[in-house]
Amino acid sequence: MSYKPVLIGMHLGFAIVGIDAFLWYLGELATKSRSEKRKGLKLAAIAGIIGFALSWLAGGYYYVVYYGKLVKPVIKAGTAPWAHAVAMEAKEHIFLFILPLAVTALILALLDKKEFENHNLRRISMLLAGVIVFLSLAIGGMGFIISAAARWG
């Protein structure tokens, strides 16, 4: 039995958890009364980090066990070899930024409420969360391109 579909599902599912968590983070920041309590902000950042880390592990395992041996050759021999050369390479490198950005968001959430407000970090925290969500969705789009290239060979 192949675990390939399970790993792909885990990779995508955990990524969605990470994206949703940082949308929650944005919502917490946008609602001033909620962000003053900061518990939701911390939980959202932790959930996002866990989601992205688990997505990375599932995707990495899939890449090593299945992608390199089975999928990559199909894409490279197919009608869209650029899907690997461009989309997969970009996806691999952009993702390296996601976890450090997510950890930075957690550090901002862990700051004392007074320190957070004194340094006016609400706007920068919202921008950071927005960048995390945008990059994650862009990576998801690249994943779609890669899987389409593999299906259509």
* CA 51 remoteness from chain centre: 8
Instruction: Give pLDDT, residue 135.
Output: 98
∠ CA 94-12-64, nearest 5°, is 70
Q: Is the pLDDT of residue 34 over 90?
A: no
∠ CA 116-120-123, nearest 5°, is 105
Q: Is the pLDDT of residue 35 over 70?
A: no
Instruction: Give pLDDT, residue 118.
Output: 87
Instruction: Give pLDDT, residue 130.
Output: 98
Region 72-91 average pLDDT: 94
Tokens of 93: 């490198």
- Output 22 or 152, whichever has higher pLDDT: 22
